A = this chain, B = another copy of it.
């Protein structure tokens, strides 16, 4: 069970497996989802008998979600009942790690720059998606350990950020 916020509206959502697909609940309302499959830049699925395609990329204001002709922005920070929010890629110690393997396609800062928590520092392309990796803390960029065009593995420390005091 997790809380998802889309366009300012929050709902408790769960996903579980069923005999011929999945059961998703949204604030307790139950939906049978069938034929879930990944397609170019998104996911296709059938709810009831309705056919849908959702396309997802990471944007500046959150996760951009287009379902057919409709677009939404999902808040990046989910409240997960089981884990602290935004765990991966955002260590409190100021090390920005790659949350998935991919290719660096943009670096927004230079060493010595002052950055704020949540500020996007690096753009990582993975699985055709552009993912903005944000600073976990307020601080100063101590070291940039990647360059544009580089392939990085999961967990690679992309940027090291020091607190002002350090």
Write the residues of chain A forming the contact surface with B, with a CB cutoff of 8 angstroms.
38, 100-103, 125-128, 149, 151-154
Contact = CB atoms under 8 A, between A and B. Distances in A.
A36 to B, nearest CB: 12
Given A125-B127, A128-B128, A151 B103 contact: no
B103 A127 contact: yes
A102 B102 CA distance: 7
A18 B38 CA distance: 44
Contacts of A151: 100-101, 126-127, 154
A52 B15 CA distance: 48
A103 B128 CA distance: 10
A154 B103 CA distance: 12
15 contacts: A38-B149, A100-B151, A101-B101, A101-B102, A101-B151, A101-B152, A101-B153, A103-B127, A125-B127, A126-B151, A127-B151, A128-B128, A151-B154, A153-B153, A153-B154
Contacts of A101: 101-102, 151-153
Nearest to A102: B101
Contacts of A103: 127
A127 B127 CA distance: 7
A116 to B, nearest CB: 30
A151 to B, nearest CB: 5
Interface centre among A100, A125, A126 (most CB of B within 10 A): A126
A152 to B, nearest CB: 8
